[in-house]
A and B are shown apart, each in its own frame.
Chain A
Amino acid sequence: AQKVTQAQTEISVVEKEDVTLDCVYETRDTTYYLFWYKQPPSGELVFLIRRNSFDEQNEISGRYSWNFQKSTSSFNFTITASQVVDSAVYFCALSETSGTYKYIFGTGTRLKVLA
């Protein structure tokens, strides 16, 4: 069965520190998609990245980077030089290609960046 685990419930860092949010997933599908979403205090879900299971290249976008390792079923997210505006809840999600491509979300990691 599909499952997404975000073991870190809450992380606090001081501004300018780097922080890594962990995501481990389980799936029986060989083809699937992984996502990260940011949920600021206002509540909306902000799309950050999508990665398909065939593409294990790491990706960098500004201060954000993602490390996808199929061998360990992990899709970790690093914020470099964190800023107060990065404070939010971050969700990792899995979408399998069998079925209706629904998203299975992890329980989220609350990131607090202190000035």
Chain B
Amino acid sequence: EPEVTQTPSHQVTQMGQEVILRCVPISNHLYFYWYRQILGQKVEFLVSFYNNEISEKSEIFDDQFSVERPDGSNFTLKIRSTKLEDSAMYFCASSGTVKGNQPQHFGDGTRLSIL
């Protein structure tokens, strides 16, 4: 069964550095999402992306965050100047449609640790 893949599985970065988290969604999917889970807390929506633009973003998704689909396969989340509180698990998800006919498929996550 096709799956969403995320790399790296664990990223350690110094505070203030830029980090790029990578995701390869399922190939025929059209809608892409990033979620964040701070350790021990719930999974929170960050941003949704469709037709090469952001369709919705949460209040967490401030100016230090950006997303991009640089080619036909990758979907990236960039954090420009990381802070300690950005330490979390970041999940990428994709779905074929937003008609609700298909659930979102989640990757296994990237654990981001900011030192």
Which A residues contact B (CB, under 8 angstroms)?
31, 33, 35, 37, 43-45, 47, 50, 52, 91, 93, 95, 97, 99-108
Query: Taking chain B's interface residues, is the majority helix, strand, or loop, or is none over half, making it mixed?
Result: strand
- CB of A45 within 8 A of CB of B43, answer yes
- CB of B98 within 8 A of CB of A91, answer no
Contact of A33 among B33, B89, B100, B106 (CB under 8 A): B100
How far is A58 from B8 in the complex, measured between Cα atoms in Å? 39
Q: How many A-B residue pairs have CB under 8 A?
A: 57
- CB of A102 within 8 A of CB of B33, answer yes
A50 to chain B: which residues have CB within 8 Å?
A: 103
B41 to chain A: which residues have CB within 8 Å?
A: 107
B43 to chain A: which residues have CB within 8 Å?
A: 45, 91, 93, 103, 105
Answer whether residue B44 sits at the interface, using C-beta atoms and an 8 A cutoff.
yes
Contact of A101 among B42, B44, B98, B105 (CB under 8 A): B98
Seed contacts A31-B100, A99-B56, A102-B45; 4 additional CB < 8 Å A-B pairs: A100-B31, A100-B55, A103-B33, A105-B42
